[in-house]
Each structure stands twice: as C-alpha cells, then as structure tokens.
Amino acid sequence: MNIAKQTVRVPYNIDSSVENSSYIEIMGSNHENEPDSSKEMYCPSDSISTPCDKRLGAALFNCGLSPITRLNLEGFEASSDKCPDTKDANSNVYLKIPFLNINASPNKCSNFGKRRLSKSNKMDTVVHPSIVLKPGKWRKSLNNFIRTKITEITFSKKVARSSICQDRKSLVLKGEQKFEDKFEEEVLKYCDQCIPLPFIAAYEQHKLLNTKKIGEGAYGEVFRCSKYQKGLEKHVSNIVLKVIPLEGSIEINGEKQKTFSQILPEIIITKKMSNLQRNKTNSTDGFVNIHKVSLVKGKYPQHLIKLWEKYDEEKGSENDHPKLFGDNQLFVVLELKFGGSDMANFQFLNSEQSYYALQQIILALAVGEEEYQFEHRDLHLGNILIEYTNRKHIIFTLKNRNLTVLSRGVKMTIIDYTLSRITINNCCYFNDLSSDEELFQATGDYQYDVYRMMRKELKNNWSSFSPKTNILWLSYVIVKLLDSVKYKSINTKVHRMYIDKIKELQNIIMTFESATHCVNHLFNLNQNVCM
Ligand SMILES: Nc1ncnc2c1ncn2[C@@H]1O[C@H](COP(=O)(O)OP(=O)(O)OP(=O)(O)O)[C@@H](O)[C@H]1O
C-alpha cells in the first residue's frame, strides 16, 4: 500500500468505489480449476464497494486504482515501453503491478490496441503499454486488455478465446421452439426484406443529411443523421444508425462477429422494449425507440468511412477501421431514435433534475419488469441517455395505473440490451455469463462489483428472473448521482435538498426486491394493488 501510494500518479478515471474485502480470496484462487469458484473468489455480498460517502477520499489516497483489489492475471506484467502517442508519458502508470486496470483511454492514446491500415495497406497493431481503468463500456476495455495481453507480452502459450459475454441463449419455457435454425430468415422478416440490400445503395449519401459519427461500441459504429423517409417524402431528423457487422470470419474490434442467432434476440428485445410506448397495461417511452432494421451487404459506404476517420482524428476511435470489410460482409443496421448524450458526459443542472431523472429510470425498469420480466443487467452510465425536453411531465403506465414524473427538463432513454434478460411469449432470452470469468474479474469501479453481485443474486443461473438485479443497478446509478455525475450549480438550497433525497433513497434501495417494489414505495401505491 505504501509503495503504491508513493509511486502511482494522478488517476485518469473517476473511481467511485474502493472495494474492500475481496483481495485475499482473489489472489489465492485459481479460477481455471474451480468451476464453482465464485463463492471462494469474491464473497460478493461482502465485497460491495465502500459507499461513496465513506470511501477513501482523494486527499487520503490520491489514486484512481482500487488499492486492494488488483488481480493476478498470469503472465501479465507492465511493460516499460512508453506510448508513442502519449504526450505526457509520465502520466502512464509505470508501477509494476500484477493487474493493470483495464481500459484504453482514447484521449490519452488514440491508437491503443486497434488495428488499422498502414500507408502500405498492411495491417498493423499499435499497442499501448499502459492500461488505464475507466468505468463504463467494459466490453471494449476487456477486449483491449486481452489484445494487449496477447500482443505485448511474451506468453508461453497464446490465449485462445472466443468472444466475451456473447453467449446469447433462449430458453423455451412452454410450447415449441420457435425459430429452429431459421435465424437468417427470421432476421430478414424483421427487416421486411427477402435478401440483404447493397449497403452502399441503401445508405447513399444523399439519403442522409447532417450525418456524424456519435459513438462506438465493441460491436458497432453509431452515426446520427436525418434520413429520407419515402412515404413522408422528407428527411426525418434525429435518426441514429447502429451498424453491426454480422457473420463474417474476421474478428472486429477484438470480437468475433455476431451471428444471426445472436443478433435476432437483440432485435426482438429492442423492438419489444420500444413498442412499450404503445402498450396499454404497462407503458413507457423510456426504452430506445427503434424505427427500422435493415440487413445490408457489401463494402462500407465511402461517406461513412470519412465520418469514421473524422471521429478518429477528433476523438480517437478504439475500433478497427471499417475499410477492413469486404464485398461479402453482412451488416445489421438498427435505425433508432436519437436519445441524447450518455449520462457520463451529461451535465445536470442540479440534483433536483437528476433526482427526477432517476425516477424516470426506476419507472421504466418497473414497466419492463411488469410486462416482460425484464432485467437490464448492464445499466452503466454509458447505457443511459439524456436529452432536453419541453415536456413538463413524463408519463408511465404501470399495471393500468398512470404515473407521472416531473421531467425538470430532461428525458431519459435506456439502451443496449446485450446482457438483458426478458420473457416474451413463454420464451426467455438471456445472456449466459455462467462460464465467463473476465467480466467478474474487473475492478476499480462500483460498476464491476455489480456484475459480481448479480452473479451472486442469480446464483449464476442467468436464465432466472430476479428483478433484484435492476435494484443493484439502481444502487449503482444512485452512487453515481452522488459521486460522479456533473452538476452545473451545486451551491444552492435546492441542490442540497435533493442530494439529501437521493441519499435517503440510497439508504433503502437495497431493501427493495424489484424496481416495481421501489415504485410502490416512491409513489405510495397501495401494496395490494401494485405488488
Ligand atoms: N439511440 C441512441 N442515441 C444516442 N446515442 C446513442 C444511441 N445508441 C447508441 N448511442 C451511442 O453510441 C454508443 C455505443 O452504442 P451501444 O452501447 O448501443 O453499442 P454496443 O456495441 O452495444 O456497445 P458495447 O460495447 O457496450 O457492447 C453509446 O454509448 C452511445 O453513446
């Protein structure tokens, strides 16, 4: 601890947690040989991060790395090389610690771990020696970590691995298996197509206006645009295109490409959650609205490549260059409604605004639970979008009851169902994380405790319905509202008042069994009617 204190430099990340009890178990365990190692390794109920108000403060320990939860990942040591792109090379962590926290910070080193075409059109892998912890999009972080681990370090044996947490399964609870092996056919049905469309023709430049790349995930590139709508004969604004490569044999962004069988449940879940806005008994528009899905084939359109490169120049992309895709590459394009900026990058006016934002999230989850036994299971700040609205109120229907929340100028949208669990027509869709280890080894933010807490809650049975996982994520959102999100004005009475209200909720959140249970409390609903 003392050595670490002296040597570790100022952190890049906002570490909202300091885990406090799992160190010894983790260091002592050998996961590979212990299929049921979860109890021994993590004792998750005991290893919940210290609440933000009690955690070690910056003054005490000026370091973003959780000091006592470094994991021993065999074969991995810090390299002493300096990152060629990093201006302040000294700000890299150059401690020799067994587990350098996972993540590439694009701002620090935009070339970290990604493949790109060099001038000679040869594939180069540029590797960053330091791995910096960052909360949020863990999948890319893990990929980068693994890619770095493979390229940077001399391994006695190469790590052969498939994708992270991509074990999408469906479990038919009653009746017949619906799709058999006709996943491609089913995807085409959802796209309203018989065959894939040529990518370049379907997304020609003139059909899209004001196009801009706005984000990226491990699976896809995300563009915002106005898109020409045939029936309406005009461009409709605020469309988001999420472009996901499919079925190809080349790895993209360190991941195997999704298959038809993996993308189909995501399309189904996205459509179902989106349609909740038109539902009667339980309704919300808090889940991202999907306009259309398309299956396209062929090279990436040149104008989208240019926008990808612009984003890379300005912000630094961690993804592979889309020029890599050939003539036969398939893509699914999800056309979604623009939901705003993600919560990690949003600045709230004050905590009154964030308190009502939190209520919107709780209600949306409750509606999902009631209608589809929905658990999000990955509700980190990157998956919660916020936009400004003129609407005074946001209206939800929960079990035929209309519930109204003040918007205080913001509208919340939940995205990304990669880990989500849902029951639709007696079929349960879930992502089986039971044999995934990497996600449960990550550390450095309360977010990473939540995955372990979910595993404990679900007893590693990822098909079961346990809405408590939504509560675990709500506890995380509350911690973030108190600890990390940005506020414009904090020196006001109203801000202090609502911070107290959020703290009150923090004190009781874990006593609820579901988001619905929490709503009953918040809205003083009659237990007999609403439980
Ligand atoms: N509807 C939307 N409106 C606004 N921004 C969006 C929308 N959908 C996605 N984004 C932006 O794009 C980013 C990546 O999207 P998303 O999380 O869906 O990708 P992914 O490939 O599933 O990510 P992951 O790496 O977590 O698997 C989001 O963090 C967000 O910033």
Per-residue pLDDT reduced to its tens digit, 272-295:
999 999 999 999 999 999 999 999
Of all protein residues, the one whose alpha carbon is nearest to atom 19 of ligand 1 is 217
- Record the tokens describing residue 404, joined without a space: 């109204």
The answer to the question of residue 204 being in a domain is yes
424 Cβ neighbours under 8 A, 6+ residues apart: 268, 269, 272, 372
Among 16-20, 176-180, 315-319, which stretch is predicted with the lowest mean pLDDT? 16-20
181 is catalytic: no
> For a pLDDT cut of 90, what percent of the chain falls above it?
56
Q: What is the pLDDT of residues 439-466, one digit of tens each?
A: 888 888 999 999 999 999 999 999 999 9
Question: So what's the pLDDT on residue 230?
Answer: 79
Q: Given 338, 366, 388, which residue is the final one in a domain?
A: 338
Given the residues 15, 320, 342, 378, the one annotated as active site:
378
Averaged pLDDT, 72-99: 32
Question: So what's the pLDDT on residue 180?
Answer: 55
Question: So what's the pLDDT on residue 62?
Answer: 30
Task: Looking at the structure, tell me whether residues 321 and 351 fall in a common domain.
Answer: no
Q: What is the pLDDT of residues 178-222, one digit of tens each?
A: 665 689 999 999 999 999 999 999 999 999 999 999 999 888 999
Task: Looking at the structure, tell me whether residues 258 and 373 fall in a common domain.
Answer: no
**Which atom of ligand 1 approaches the CA of 139 most closely?**
25
Question: So what's the pLDDT on residue 480?
Answer: 98
For residues 357 and 410, is the Cβ–Cβ distance under 8 A?
Answer: yes
Q: What is the pLDDT of residues 106-115, one digit of tens each?
A: 333 333 334 4
Task: Looking at the structure, tell me whether residues 417 and 307 fall in a common domain.
Answer: no
The answer to the question of residue 431 being in a domain is no
Averaged pLDDT, 521-530: 71
Q: Given 338, 356, 372, which residue is the final one in a domain?
A: 338
For residues 502 and 351, is the Cβ–Cβ distance under 8 A?
Answer: yes
Residue 23 has pLDDT above 90, yes or no: no
Does 339 contact ligand 1 (Cβ within 6 A)?
yes
Task: Looking at the structure, tell me whether residues 226 and 246 fall in a common domain.
Answer: yes
- Between 18 and 257, name the one with better pLDDT: 257
Task: Looking at the structure, tell me whether residues 401 and 488 fall in a common domain.
Answer: yes
Question: So what's the pLDDT on residue 13?
Answer: 35
**Which atom of ligand 1 approaches the CA of 137 most closely?**
26
ipTM of the predicted structure?
Answer: 0.97
- What amino acid occupies position 495? H
Averaged pLDDT, 150-157: 45
111 Cβ neighbours under 8 A, 6+ residues apart: 84, 85, 126, 128, 316
Does 336 contact ligand 1 (Cβ within 6 A)?
yes
Task: Looking at the structure, tell me whether residues 356 and 292 fall in a common domain.
Answer: no
Averaged pLDDT, 116-130: 41
Pocket test for ligand 1, best of 114, 214, 269, 320 (most atoms within 8 A of CB): 214
* 136: alpha, beta or left? (left if phi > 0; alpha if psi -120 to 50): left
Q: Given 313, 338, 363, which residue is the final one in a domain?
A: 338
Task: Looking at the structure, tell me whether residues 518 and 483 fall in a common domain.
Answer: yes
Does 442 contact ligand 1 (Cβ within 6 A)?
no
Task: Looking at the structure, tell me whether residues 301 and 332 fall in a common domain.
Answer: yes
Task: Looking at the structure, tell me whether residues 312 and 349 fall in a common domain.
Answer: no
Question: So what's the pLDDT on residue 311?
Answer: 98
471 Cβ neighbours under 8 A, 6+ residues apart: 509, 510, 512, 513, 514, 515, 517, 518
Domain count, the chain: 2
The answer to the question of residue 70 being in a domain is no
CATH number of the domain that residue 286 is part of: 3.30.200.20
Question: So what's the pLDDT on residue 171?
Answer: 59
Write down the residue that tokens 């050595």 correspond to: 3
Domain span including residue 236:
196-338
Residue whose C-alpha is closest to residue 167's, from 253, 101, 258: 258
CA–CA dist 78, 265 (Å, integer): 39
**What is the 30 CA–ligand 1 centroid distance (Å)?**
34
**Which atom of ligand 1 approaches the CA of 340 most closely?**
4
- Record the tokens describing residue 279, joined without a space: 């539902």
CATH number of the domain that residue 359 is part of: 1.10.510.10
**What is the 416 CA–ligand 1 centroid distance (Å)?**
7
- Record the tokens describing residue 501, joined without a space: 């209200």
Averaged pLDDT, 84-88: 36
Burial class (CB in 10 A: 0-12, 13-18, 19+), 45: exposed
Residue 145 pLDDT grade (very low, low, confident, very high; cuts 50, 70, 90):
low
